[in-house]
């Protein structure tokens, strides 16, 4: 029966179910007749009088109505192996949940406390199963290893820990009502899965999803045809956000629903939520999809705990007769790979990375979709002529979810801008770039910080050779994915797909500013690594911290900037002490990690000779930042004072000529320092203010300075 799913599209309900009237009538008849058989009357138990009309419905059930119960029982037996007694007990709990008359009669007849959540099990079994043999079978149907308990088809409650089964209360799992009671709606997920679970039906395919990869499709079909116990398909993900798209494609390919449970979003009761997900997948004839199955906090991470976690999965999947889907991000795949060691048959699928052609298609579809006619009088969007999907696809290695988020955010900004300026809404390239930077931002924790600046090429004053090499580096960064994908370098060279450069030169020569200009020109984020937080005295900690940074930014198209990089990328030394061995291990780890990294890395150092030669061989660019010459200093001095700054008697030519041993960064500091001194003296900025600021800068740099008769004498060594 085709029905409307939660997203308004057409999906299917698997269990036809029982009408509430038939279910209540059937259960009420059973309770009423059991009470009469034990000599209970309506005078003795007034609640029986309230139950009588429902029992009358049960007595008069037609063969067609009875077939509802028989058909549902057959389905539940097929799904969970519930025999007749187990099925009857489940219907009994659902009837208690549906109608107060059934609840009150059951509570009175079983001598249960009226405020209890459900009747005592001992009283229920005595009422419904006076025959001792049947009662023992009913008791067995409620034990912990029974289908009713394993799949949480009913709930057994007790206020006292360790209480005997007969003294516990028997209740329904309220989410079972949606499956057993006949309705036109597709059952929603249980409330316990809210915030961590999602249901995707065969009709939920998004416009950006595309079709399922043939290799993955064939693996799924083979697993369906060859069912066995405790089997799993493990999908390697570049990022967790791609899981919904893959789940939707699987649902569309197999024509069955998929339930995704994100274990990272589960704070506690992992076992219960896994059980509910497995149960809901069976009730819908669908598949359970567990995202980040081995997710654990840093404090928990150890080989012993990983093995314990794997054993827990073996126990939770022990009753599965068809496969489940596991999906983990690259850093966690090694943990999932421990599952075969505990008896879980694991089939692995690693999707190929997104190509330029695929991203070009995604951006085209997303821009076309967002510019279609909008209902409700929303102004129709258009795309500016300078927007190039080739540029977007080459610079941003984004997936379906990120493309949709980038374009949607840019569309919203375009509409808001049009409302403010009373114009037509147009999606511009700068808007898309800003949106892309926001949507590709990654949480890099305490080991790096996001750098935001507004520097452009006009702010840089560099020698022409340096500028030319920076432009070459920028061009390579902009088109590198095109070379890797379209020209086949990615398939020929599996490693070394990063783009790395070293900027070397004295402090203040523009290395950091150049990296910021690169990020702004590309329209990507830049993260500056905090070496004080990264470097640790404990063995292996530095590598782990660096690994977290590389993992977080791997596919974000960001620039990873290491200032004073020789602190961790320095030369390996001859091993004379144990600390030398550990230092060399760190450098070797970084060599390996840089080779595996697929992003953009810029290393900055004051002395190129301090860098390990093995690093330099792996770098694509080595760019020298020299101290500025006279023309360079003159340009920097001229740009250092804003137009609003009051100047009196300041000769920029003299400053550029006499102060010849300082860098561009120092010039800017001196200009700001002079302005501070002038403001404190309540006067304009003069040559005297600049000279005082210059002396302060030299003293700060621990250079010897004499001031005699108003003349500064300095020694730079």
Question: Quick one: CA dihedral 119, 123, 126, 127, positive or negative?
Answer: negative
- pLDDT tens for 624-638 read 999 999 999 999 999
The confidence band for 6, taking pLDDT boundaries of 50, 70 and 90, is very low
What pLDDT score does 577 carry? Answer: 47
Question: What's the helix, strand, coil split of the chain in %, to 5?
Answer: 55, 15, 35
How far apart are alpha carbons 180 and 484 in whole angstroms?
54
Say how far apart CA 696 and CA 687 lie, in whole Å: 14
Return the higher-pLDDT residue of 160 and 177. 177
Burial of 83 (0-12, 13-18, 19+ CB in 10 A): middle
Looking at the domain 191-349, which fold is it? Rossmann fold (3.40.50)
**Mean pLDDT across 219-246:** 84
Residue 150 confidence (pLDDT) above 70: yes
CA distance 697 to 686: 17
| pLDDT for 456 beyond 60 | yes
Query: Who wins on pLDDT, 114 or 290?
Result: 290
Cα 109 to the center of its chain, rounded Å: 52
Cα–Cα distance, 710 to 359 (Å, whole number) = 65
Residue 233 CA to residue 224 CA, distance in Å, equals 11
| Range 127-155 average pLDDT | 93
- Contacts of 501 by beta carbon, 8 Å cutoff, 6+ apart: 473, 601, 602, 603, 619, 620, 621, 622, 623
Which of 329, 290, 298, 350 is CA-nearest to residue 555? Answer: 329
Total-model pTM: 0.78
What pLDDT does 380 receive? 81
Question: Which CATH code, of 1.10.8.60, 3.30.390.10, 3.40.50.300, 1.10.1060.10, is assigned to 356-439?
Answer: 1.10.8.60
CA distances from 538 to 268, 543, 568, 579, 582 (A): 31, 10, 15, 11, 10
Cα distance between the two ends of the chain: 87
Backbone angles phi, psi at 232, to 5 degrees: -145, 145
**Which range among 87-91, 219-223, 647-651 has the greatest average pLDDT?**
87-91
Question: Please, are residues 25 and 51 in contact by the beta-carbon 8 Å criterion?
Answer: no
Greatest mean pLDDT among 159-163, 513-517, 598-602, 657-661: 513-517
Three-state DSSP state, 686: coil
C-alpha 155/C-alpha 285 separation (Å) is 23
Which tokens in the block code for residue 374? 């909008």
448-625 and 630-715 have identical folds:
no
pLDDT, position 4: 33
Task: Let me know if 475 is exposed, middle or buried by CB neighbors in 10 A (0-12, 13-18, 19+).
Answer: exposed
Question: For 56-92, what is each residue's pLDDT tens digit?
Answer: 999 999 999 999 999 999 999 999 999 999 999 999 9
pLDDT band for 241, please (50, 70, 90 cuts).
Answer: confident
Euclidean distance between CA atoms 153 and 671, whole angstroms: 76
Share of the chain above pLDDT 70, in %: 88
What element of type H or E holds 199? Answer: strand 197-200
Q: Which residue has the higher pLDDT, 646 or 545?
A: 646
Going by C-alpha positions, the residue among 75, 81, 341, 76 that lies closest to residue 230 is 341
For the record, the structure tokens of 536 come out as: 């640790």
Cβ atoms < 10 Å from Cβ of 311: 15
pLDDT surpassing 70 at residue 429: yes
Residues 520-579 have pLDDT tens digits of 999 999 999 877 777 777 766 777 788 778 877 876 778 999 887 777 665 544 444 444
CA R_g for the chain: 35
Instruction: Please write the tens of the pLDDT for every residue from 375-396.
Output: 666 678 889 998 999 889 888 8
Tokens representing 656?
Answer: 């550029």
Q: Is the pLDDT of residue 707 over 80?
A: no
A 10 A CB-CB count for 281 gives: 23
At 546, phi and psi to the nearest 5?
A: -65, -40
The reported pLDDT for the residue numbered 572 is 43
- Residue keyed to tokens 């609840």: 103
Residue 324: HSE in the Cβ half-sphere, 13 Å Cα cutoff: 30
Give 173's Cβ-side CA count (13 Å radius). Answer: 23
Helix or strand (DSSP H, E) at 688: helix 687-700
pLDDT score at 136: 94
In tens, the pLDDT along 394-412 reads 888 888 888 999 999 999 8
Residues 357 and 486 sit within 8 Å (Cβ to Cβ): yes
**pLDDT at 5 > cutoff 50:** no
Domain boundaries, the chain: 17-180, 191-349, 356-439, 448-625, 630-715
CA angle 695, 696, 698 (to 5 degrees): 65
What pLDDT score does 713 carry? Answer: 57
| pLDDT higher than 50, residue 582 | no
How far apart are alpha carbons 697 and 717 in whole angstroms?
Answer: 15
Residue 137: what pLDDT? 94
- Read off the pLDDT band of 712 (50, 70, 90): low
Q: Average pLDDT in the 83-106 region?
A: 95
* Residue 374 clears pLDDT 80, i.e. is over it: no
- The correct CATH number of 448-625 out of 3.30.200.20, 3.40.50.1820, 3.40.50.720, 3.40.50.300 is 3.40.50.300
179, 82 contact by CB (below 8 A)? no
* Angle formed by the axes of helices 100-109 and 84-98, nearest 10°: 120
Q: For residue 248, what are the CA distances in angstroms to 3, 362, 501?
A: 18, 16, 40
Question: In this predicted model, what pLDDT tens digit does every residue of 458-491 receive, in sequence order?
Answer: 889 998 899 999 999 999 888 888 777 777 776 7
Q: Tell me what percent of the residues of the chain surpass a pLDDT of 90.
A: 42
When mean pLDDT is compared across 51-55, 522-526, 583-587, the lowest value belongs to 583-587
What are the backbone angles phi and psi of residue 382, rounded to the nearest 5°? Answer: -135, 165
Domain range 630-715, CATH architecture: Orthogonal Bundle (1.10)
Q: Where are the alpha helices (DSSP H) in 597-651?
A: 613-618, 630-640
Provide CB contacts within 8 A for 50, sequence distance 6+: 101, 104, 105
């Amino acid at each position: 029966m085709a029905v409307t799913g939660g997203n308004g599209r057409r999906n299917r309900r698997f269990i036809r179910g029982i009408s509430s009237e038939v279910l209540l009538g059937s259960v009420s008849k059973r309770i009423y007749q059991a009470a009469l058989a034990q000599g209970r009357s309506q005078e003795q138990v007034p609640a029986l009088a309230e139950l009588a009309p429902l029992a009358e419905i049960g007595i008069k059930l037609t063969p067609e109505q009875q077939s509802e119960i028989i058909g549902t029982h057959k389905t539940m037996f097929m799904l969970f192996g519930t025999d007749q007694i187990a099925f009857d007990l489940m219907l009994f709990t659902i009837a208690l949940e549906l109608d107060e008359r059934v609840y009150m009669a059951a509570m009175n007849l079983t001598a249960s406390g009226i405020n209890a959540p459900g009747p005592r099990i001992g009283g229920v079994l005595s009422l419904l199963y006076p025959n001792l043999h049947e009662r023992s079978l009913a008791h067995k149907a409620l034990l912990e290893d029974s289908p009713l308990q394993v799949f949480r088809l009913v709930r057994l409650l007790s206020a006292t820990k360790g209480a005997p089964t007969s003294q516990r209360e028997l209740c329904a799992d309220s989410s079972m009502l949606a499956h057993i009671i006949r309705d036109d709606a597709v059952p929603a997920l249980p409330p316990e899965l809210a915030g961590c679970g999602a249901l995707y039906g065969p009709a939920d395919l998004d416009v950006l999803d595309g079709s399922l990869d043939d290799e993955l499709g064939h693996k799924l079909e083979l697993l369906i045809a060859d069912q066995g116990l405790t089997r799993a398909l493990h999908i390697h993900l570049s990022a967790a956000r791609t899981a919904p798209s893959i789940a939707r494609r699987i649902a569309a390919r197999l024509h069955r629903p998929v339930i995704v449970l994100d274990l990272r979003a589960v704070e506690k009761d992992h076992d219960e939520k896994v059980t509910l997900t497995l149960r809901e997948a069976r009730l819908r004839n669908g598949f359970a999809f567990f995202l980040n199955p081995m997710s654990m906090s840093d404090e928990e991470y150890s080989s012993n705990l990983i093995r314990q976690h794997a054993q827990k999965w073996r126990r939770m999947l022990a009753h599965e007769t068809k496969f489940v889907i596991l999906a983990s991000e690259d850093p966690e795949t090694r943990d999932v790979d421990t599952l075969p060691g505990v008896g879980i048959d694991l089939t692995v699928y690693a999707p190929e990375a997104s190509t330029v052609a695929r991203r070009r298609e995604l951006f085209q579809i997303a821009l076309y979709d967002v510019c279609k006619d909008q209902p409700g009088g929303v102004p129709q969007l258009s795309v500016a002529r300078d927007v190039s999907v080739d540029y977007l696809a080459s610079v941003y290695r984004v997936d379906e979810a990120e493309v949709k988020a980038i374009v949607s955010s840019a569309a919203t900004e375009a509409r808001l801008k049009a409302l403010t300026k009373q114009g037509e809404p147009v999606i511009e390239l700068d808007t898309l770039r800003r949106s892309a930077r926001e949507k590709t931002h990654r949480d890099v924790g305490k080991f790096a910080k996001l750098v935001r600046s507004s520097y452009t090429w006009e702010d840089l004053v560099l020698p022409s050779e340096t500028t030319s090499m920076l432009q070459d580096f920028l061009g390579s960064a902009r088109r590198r994915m095109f070379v890797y994908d379209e020209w086949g370098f990615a398939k020929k060279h599996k490693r070394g797909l990063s783009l790395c450069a070293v900027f070397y030169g004295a402090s203040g020569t523009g290395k950091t500013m150049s990296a910021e200009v690169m990020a702004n020109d590309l329209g990507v984020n830049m993260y500056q690594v905090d070496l004080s937080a990264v470097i640790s005295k404990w063995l292996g900690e530095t590598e782990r911290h660096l690994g977290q940074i590389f993992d977080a930014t791997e596919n974000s198209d960001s620039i990873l900037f290491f200032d004073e990089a020789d602190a961790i990328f320095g030369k390996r030394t001859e091993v004379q002490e144990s600390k030398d061995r550990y230092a060399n291990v760190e450098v070797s780890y970084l060599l390996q990690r840089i080779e595996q990294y697929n992003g953009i890395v810029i290393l900055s150092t004051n002395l190129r000779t301090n860098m390990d030669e093995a690093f330099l061989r792996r770098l694509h660019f080595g760019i020298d930042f020299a101290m500025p010459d006279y023309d360079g200093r003159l340009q920097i001095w001229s740009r250092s004072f804003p137009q609003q700054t009051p100047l009196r008697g300041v000769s920029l030519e003299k400053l550029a000529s006499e102060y010849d041993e300082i860098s561009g960064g120092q010039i800017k500091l001196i200009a700001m320092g002079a302005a501070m001194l002038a403001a404190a003296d309540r006067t304009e900025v003069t040559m005297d203010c600049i000279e005082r600021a210059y002396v302060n800068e030299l003293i700060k740099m621990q250079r010897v300075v004499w001031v005699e008769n108003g003349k500064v004498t300095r020694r730079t060594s």
